[in-house]
Amino acid sequence: MDQLLQQLDNLARSDWLNTAVSVVVILGITAVAARLITHFLRRMLHFNEEKNLPSSSIFVNIGRGAVWALGICIMLSTSFNVDVSAAVTALGIGGIAISLGFQDTISNLIGGLQLSLLRIVKPGDNIEVGSESGVVRDVLWRHTVIRNAAGEEILIPNSIINKTTLVHLPPPNQTSLSLEVTTDGAGLTQKVRLIEAAAAEAACGIGKVKKEPALLFSEITGTGFKGSLAFSMADARDVAKAKDAVLRAVAPLTRGGAGVGGAAGEDAAPAPAATADVAVGALPGAAGEDGSASAVAATAGSAAAGGEAGEAVARSGAASAVSGKPERQ
C-alpha cells in the first residue's frame, strides 16, 4: 500500500503530468473563448441596425481562428517552452513554400474577404455567376454558398466569383412575364385593366401578393403591343406557381376581342359595313316583288349587324318596299 502511494506521489510530481494538465487547461480556456467570440460576432453582425457590417460567416471564422491561434501560441510557450517569435520567424522564411502549397486556399480566403468587405456579395442577394444562379446563403473562407430555384445548394469558390462576370439579379420574389397584346389600339387601356385584374386574382390564389401586377408596354409590333407584366410575391417560394397561374389567366385576354366591349368584343366585325349593304338593298324606287325582297334582305342584314343603325335602315327599307308596291283592284 505504501509503495502504491509512493508511485502516485511520484506521478503527481512528474513533469509530463504537469505539462498535460497545463495543455488541457489552456486548450479548454481557448475553446470557451472561441465559442464566446463566435457567439458575440454572430449576434453583432445579425443585429446590426445600420446594416453597415457584412453578415458573412467568413469574419466569424477568422475571429475563431485568431482565438485558437493565440491559445496555441500560449500553450507552446507555457507548457513546452517554445520560443513563439522564433517559430513565427521560421514560418516567415518558409512562407514562399507555404504560399505555393496553399495557393488556392489563400486565393479563396482573400477573395472571400474582398467580397464581404467591399459588400460585393452578401447573404440574400440574387446573383448569377457563369451558368449558375441563385440566392446567396453565406460567404465562407473558401467558397460562397448559393441556392437555386430547384432548392439545390451550389458551392462556388470565391476566387471564381472574383474572376468571372457577376450579375446581380432582381430579388427572387419579383418576376415578370413578357406579353404581346394583339389589338389595333382601340380600348387598349381597358384591356390592360382586365389583364391586370385577372393576373392579380390568379396570383392571390397562390399566396400573398407583395406588389400588384402592372403591365407596361415597350414596343409596337405589326400585330399589337409588346410589354411585360411585373409583380412580386411575399414568399419567393410561391413565385414559380404564381407565374404559371398568371400566365394561364391572362393568355386568353392577350388575343384580340377577348373580354372587351361586351359579347361582340372590341375587334368584332363593324356594323357600318352591314348598314351599307342594307342601304343598297333598300334604295328608293324599288317596287313590287323586288321591294319585298329588298325588305327581307334589309331585315336579315340588320340582324347580322346587331346594331340599332341596321335596324333603323331595315325599317326604312321595309317602308319603302310597302309604299312602292301597287294596289290590287
Identify the pLDDT of residue 54.
62
- Does domain 121-168 bear CATH number 3.40.50.150? no
- Average pLDDT of the residues of the chain: 76
Neighbouring-strand partners of residue 225? 181, 220
Neighbouring-strand partners of residue 175? 231
Average of per-residue pLDDT across 81-107: 76
Residue 278 above 80 pLDDT? no
Identify the pLDDT of residue 201.
95
Identify the pLDDT of residue 260.
42
Output the nine-digit C-alpha cell for 35: 465559442
Distance CA 34, CA 192 (A): 60
Identify the pLDDT of residue 93.
65
Residue 230 has φ and ψ, to the nearest 5°, of: -110, 140
Residue 77 above 90 pLDDT? no
Side by side, the strands of the sheet bearing 132-139 are: 153-157, 143-147, 132-139, 126-129, 166-168
Residue 221 above 70 pLDDT? yes
CA angle 89, 34, 19 (to 5 degrees): 65
- Does domain 174-254 bear CATH number 3.30.465.10? no
C-alpha to C-alpha distances, 252 to 180, 243, 260, nearest whole angstrom: 12, 15, 11
Query: How much is the pTM?
Result: 0.54
> 236-250 burial by CB neighbour count: b if 16+ within 10 A, else e?
bebbeebbebbeebb
Distance CA 12, CA 298 (A): 124
Distance CA 295, CA 302 (A): 10
Output the nine-digit C-alpha cell for 119: 459588400
Q: Which of 44-53, 154-163, 180-189, 301-310 has the lowest mean pLDDT?
A: 301-310
Distance CA 148, CA 135 (A): 6
Identify the pLDDT of residue 202.
95
Residue 79 above 90 pLDDT? no
Residue of higher predicted confidence among 282 and 203 = 203
Q: Which of 37-41, 76-80, 162-166, 192-196 has the lowest mean pLDDT?
A: 76-80
Output the nine-digit C-alpha cell for 204: 392571390
Residue 281 above 70 pLDDT? no
The tens digit of pLDDT for each residue in 142-194 reads: 999 999 888 899 999 999 999 999 999 988 888 989 999 988 888 889 999 99
Distance CA 295, CA 254 (A): 40
Average of per-residue pLDDT across 64-93: 82
Sort 94 into a burial class: Cβ within 10 Å, 0-12 / 13-18 / 19+: exposed
Residue 322 above 90 pLDDT? no
Pairing of strands 174-181, 153-157: unpaired
